[in-house]
Amino acid sequence: MHPDNVVSQLPVPLSVRGAQVNGSVEILRLLAAWGIVWFHAGNTGRSIGYAGLPLFCVIMIALATNANSKGKTLATVVWRRAERLLVPWVIWSLLYAIAKVAEALVEHTAISHEFSWWMLSTGPSLHLWFLPFAFFSTSAAYLLVQALGRRSGRVLFWALVLTLPSLGYLSASIVSQGDLSIPFLQWCFAFPSVMLGMIVGIRGKRFDNAIIVGAILATALLAFMGGFLSWSIPFAIGGLAAMIGWVFPLPAGNSVRFLGELALPIYLIHPLIISLVSLTPIDQLAGDVQGVVVVCFSTVYAIVHVCIGVLAGRAAFSTQATAG
């Protein structure tokens, strides 16, 4: 099958406003995934790579609050979001649980030592916390915006803009102390980015973009002045990158849509790739080399994953059409 035929069968991606796909946001989704992988596997510029997490949060919340709900029931919207986020969470939780059991058997350690109570809310691999968090935060943001409507939404916009710096500072302070347990620490880190995503999603006035950029810089600067450098840099980079994506949208052809669809599989597979790389001679190489290897193998997996999913979906459609 020709590559153009493959990508033409992709489902409509998340970066949709009405019927138009924002190619800039699709590309940012891929960059965010690579950034998170680099934070976990690389060495140089790890704090910059971690900007992928705030970027992911801003994108998903902005798209959720700006979703086209015309002709859709609330149950339909929530169910589709669950299919995209909770179903993969269950599947990948099972896969990582099997991997943990296998590791315990190989190393002759107690299987109970591989699991902790917090995994009930995240899954057996810590990075999976993002999927249930994404489901509940996007659902809550969507419900709030739909309930308030346009007029009250303007009040919400200013309430979020004015409180973002102080709540961002509070988040940075709590995260730096490290007193919260998993997954509350991760949720606390991401909360200001959720606020920013809502701001981006409900903006509408002519000068809103400048106001949002100012709020991002004020939040990052306040956290920086408080000594929370590891929080302020990712937030500033992720937030400003998201704004660039919305202010300067690119057309989204098939190839760009394909790149956006790689983001989630890359994110989901990368801890397993890191574990496998640690068992090879590559583990003896410099950290940046290992990071590049992990990024490349995670991307290759994602390409195969997306292509198989597209081909399987096309085969199922052909079967239904034949049966009909």
Which segments of the chain does DSSP mark as H helices, in order?
3-7, 23-41, 46-49, 52-65, 74-107, 119-122, 130-177, 184-202, 208-225, 229-247, 254-261, 263-277, 287-323
Retrieve residue 215's tokens.
Answer: 């709020």
Domain regions of the chain by residue span: 3-323
3-state secondary structure of 20: strand
DSSP 8-state class, residue 74: H
The residues with which 20 forms a beta bridge, in sequence order, are 17
* Mean pLDDT, range 233-255, rounded to an integer: 93
317 band by pLDDT with thresholds 50, 70 and 90 = very low
Residues whose CB falls within 8 Å of the CB of residue 155, separated by 6 or more in sequence, listed in order: 148
Share of the chain above pLDDT 90, in %: 58
Mean pLDDT value across residues 158-177: 96
Burial 113-123 (b: 16+ CB within 10 A, else e): ebeeeebeebb
Mean pLDDT, the chain, whole residue set: 86
Tell me how far apart the alpha carbons of residues 257 and 101 are, in angstroms, rounded to a whole number.
Answer: 37
Distance from CA of residue 129 to its chain's centroid? 11
Angstrom distances, CA of residue 75 to CA of 51, 142, 243, 275, 299: 33, 12, 30, 39, 34
Q: Tell me the pairing of strands 16-17 and 20-21.
A: antiparallel
Q: Which two tokens stand for residue 61?
A: 């919340």
- Between 104 and 26, name the one with better pLDDT: 26
pLDDT bucket at 89, cuts 50 / 70 / 90:
very high
Indicate the DSSP class of residue 19: T
Single-letter code of the amino acid located at 231: W
Residue 21 φ/ψ, nearest 5 degrees: -95, 135
pLDDT at 313: 62
Is 80 exceeded by the pLDDT of residue 318? no
Give the Cα separation of 21 and 230 in Å (integer).
Answer: 33
Q: What is the mean pLDDT of residues 286-294?
A: 87
Task: Calculate mean pLDDT across residues 40-55.
Answer: 89
Query: Is omega for the bond preceding 183 within 30 degrees of 0, making it cis?
Result: yes
Task: Decide: 191 and 175 in contact? Cβ < 8 Å.
Answer: no
